[in-house]
Structure 1
C-alpha cells in the first residue's frame, strides 16, 4: 500500500523539539498525573504508590465497564456496547476508514481537515471528493456543493467538528441538512470530534451520533481532556454494521488498549466537569489574547475560532507557509504549523490552548519576525 507522508505529523516530528514557544501544540494545557488525581479528589502519593501492585496484563479486551460507561456519558442515549476503545483518535479514524471503505467507493471529505480523512481512503484506491471550506463562509460546508458531490456510490461523508485547523463549529441546522444529504444516498457520516466537548457557554455540543443512525463519532482523551499521553481514543456509533466491521479489524490492529491508559481515562471521565471547568477558563482566556493580538497586528487577519483549540492565521508576506515557518522556528524559536500541511497557502495554524505566558511571548516574537522580513 502506498500512502502520502502525513504532513502535519512529519512537521511536528521534525521541529517540535526545537521550539522555545510552541504555538503548534493543539492540546489544552496538558495535565500532570498529580493534577488529574487531585482534581478527582484522590491523594496522589497514595494512589500512585498503589499502582506498584497493578498487574500488567491485557486487561479488558473491549475496555473496562467504567471506561465504556464514561465514554457513553459524553453522548445522548449511547449504550456501552456502542463504544469501541482505540489507540487514540488516530487509531479510531484509521479503523473506521479501513473497515468500511473499499476501492470501488467514493467519499466526500471536508478540506482543510486532518490528513487521515483523505490520504487513507486514497491509499485504498477509493475516490476522495474534497468539500472545500472557505474563510468567506466562516469555514462552514456549502450544502449546495455537498449535494453535487454525492451519488449512489458515495459510501461516506467525513467532517471534522469542531474543525481542525480553522476552529469552526457547524451549527445544528446545517448538521441536520448534512444528515439529509447523507440519507439521500445511504452514506455514513464520520465526524472527527476530538475538539468537541467544551462550549464557551457550558452548553451540550451535539454529536453526529445524536443526529444520525449511520453517524460515527471519533474522539479521544488528548485534546479537551488534556491527556494526550494516555493514547486513548474511541469509536461511537449506533449502527451495528459499523460496530461489527470495526471490531473485526480491531483484532488485527489493536487487540486492546493499555490497562493504565484505561485506568486514568476512567478517572478523568468521572471528573469531566472539573476538567472542563479548568479547560474552559484556559480556552476563553487565550482566545481573547489571540483575538486582541490579531486586531492589533496589521500584518495578519483571521476568522475568529468559535470552538476547539486551533485557528488559521493569514499573513500578508509573499513567502510560502512552509518556508516562513522554518525561518520562524530557526530565527525566533516560535513553532506554528504551515498552512501547506493542510493543502493551504498564505496562512499557518496556531494552537492557542496552553499557558498564556507562552502564547503572548510567542505572538510577540511572531510580530517581530513579520516586521523584520
Structure 2
C-alpha cells in the first residue's frame, strides 16, 4: 500500500460461507457447481490401472516441491487446450481461485478502475475492492436472459479502466459469452489498454459447441481455469493461468513466488492423468449434463413457483423462487426439513433466487427436486 492508504477489509465470501456452514449437513446436495466428482478409482481406471497400481507406479517419487510452475508435461497438456498459448505461458495454481487471486494481486493497485458483471463469482469484484480498486458493475437480468449487454459494458469502461473481470460461462446463471461477444469485449478493452480476466472454469459441455478462450483472441487477455468443474476433480485443487503475453506471465511469475511455491508432485501427476484422458472425462460429463438438464427442464415446467433461464450446458443454474419469504431463511428451513441443499441467491447478492447445481448424481437430483417440490407446496393456499 502507498503511504497513508489503509488496508480495505474484504467482505465475507457469501457462497463459501454458506457451503462451509451447511453442505456437510445435506442429504441431497443440489447446490454444487461441479459436475459429479470422479472417484480416485475412476480416474486411475482411465489409465487402465487400479488405485494401488497407480500409487505403486509413483511410489518412488520424491515428495519434494516438484516443478514450481507445474511440470513441463502439465504445461504442454494445458497449452493444447488453447490455440495461441505456448506451454511457457501456463502457470499452475491452487485451483482457479488461486489463479484469479494471483492475477488481481499482481495487476491491480489502489485507485485502479475495474468493470465486472453482476451477478458473478464474488472473487471477481471483492478482491479488487480489497486491493483498493474502484469497481463498477454491468448488471445482468433474467429478463434479458442474463446476457451481458455490450452497450452497458462500453458505457462502464473509461480511459482509466485497468481490468475487465468476467466469468464465462457465468456463475451462477450458467449463461455463455460467445466468440463474437468476446471479440467485442477485446475491442473495447484494447481502446483503453485494459486487461481482460476471464474465469473459464465453466466451459460448456455440448459436443457441437465451440468454446473460445479470451487468451486466444486478445493480447492482454488472461484466462483462468481448473480441473474442478468441467473435469469433475475439485479435490485436486489444480488450476492454471494462461495468457499469450510474455510481459504478463513474467509479472504473474514474480507474484506467484510470494503466493504459491508449488502445487505438489502428487497433484501434478493426477492432473496429468486427467488431462491425458480429458476426452473420456468430457464424454462422461456431457452425458451427465445432457441427461440431468432434461430432468431439470421437465421439473421447472411442472413447478409453478420456479422459473429458470436455461444454462448453456454448464453445471450451474439459477432458479427464481416465487415464495412469500426470503430466499435465505427458505434455504435454511428447506435443508433442515428435507435434507435438500441449495445456495440462496442472497449469497450472490440476488435475493429470491437460488443456485441449483443439477450435475450431481442423477438419483440425488431426482430425489432432491421431488423433495423441493413437496416443500414448496407449503405455500399453497388452502381451498
Conserved? CA contact 1:195–1:307, under 8 Å: no
3-state secondary structure, aligned to 1:155: strand
2:239 corresponds to which residue?
233
Cα distance in 1 between the residues matched to 2:335 and 2:211? 36
- Residue 120 of structure 1 is aligned with which of 96, 109, 127? 127
Deviation of 1:139 after TM superposition, in Å, equals 1.0
Cα distance in 2 between the residues matched to 1:315 and 1:199? 26
Conserved? CA contact 2:205–2:285, under 8 Å: no
What root-mean-square deviation, in Å, do the aligned CA atoms of Structure 1 and Structure 2 show? 1.1
Deviation of 1:266 after TM superposition, in Å, equals 0.3
Conserved? CA contact 1:40–1:268, under 8 Å: no
3-state secondary structure, aligned to 1:53: coil
Residue 285 (str. 1) matches residue 294 (str. 2): no
1:76 corresponds to which residue?
83
Runs of 4+ in structure 1 deviating by more than 6 angstroms, as ranges, are none
- Residue 143 of structure 1 is aligned with which of 134, 143, 150? 150
- The total of aligned residue pairs comes to 372
Residue 152 (str. 1) matches residue 159 (str. 2): yes
Conserved? CA contact 2:300–2:306, under 8 Å: yes
> Normalised by the size of structure 2, how large is the TM-score?
0.95
Deviation of 1:221 after TM superposition, in Å, equals 0.7
3-state secondary structure, aligned to 2:16: helix
Q: Which runs of 5+ in 2 are unaligned?
A: 1-6
Cα distance in 2 between the residues matched to 1:137 and 1:76? 31
Between 106-115 and 169-178, the greater mean CA deviation after superposition: 169-178
- Residue 316 of structure 2 is aligned with which of 306, 310, 319? 310
Alignment of 1:1-373 (within 5 A): 1=7, 2-196=9-203, 198-373=204-379
Conserved? CA contact 1:162–1:169, under 8 Å: yes
Deviation of 1:176 after TM superposition, in Å, equals 1.4
Cα distance in 1 between the residues matched to 2:335 and 2:27? 8
Deviation of 1:235 after TM superposition, in Å, equals 0.4
Q: Deviations over 1:202-249 (max 9, x none)?
A: 443111111111100000011111111111000000122221221111
Q: Which runs of 5+ in 1 are unaligned?
A: none
Cα distance in 2 between the residues matched to 1:30 and 1:347? 25
Q: Deviations over 1:130-175 (max 9, x none)?
A: 1111112211111111111111110011110011100101122222
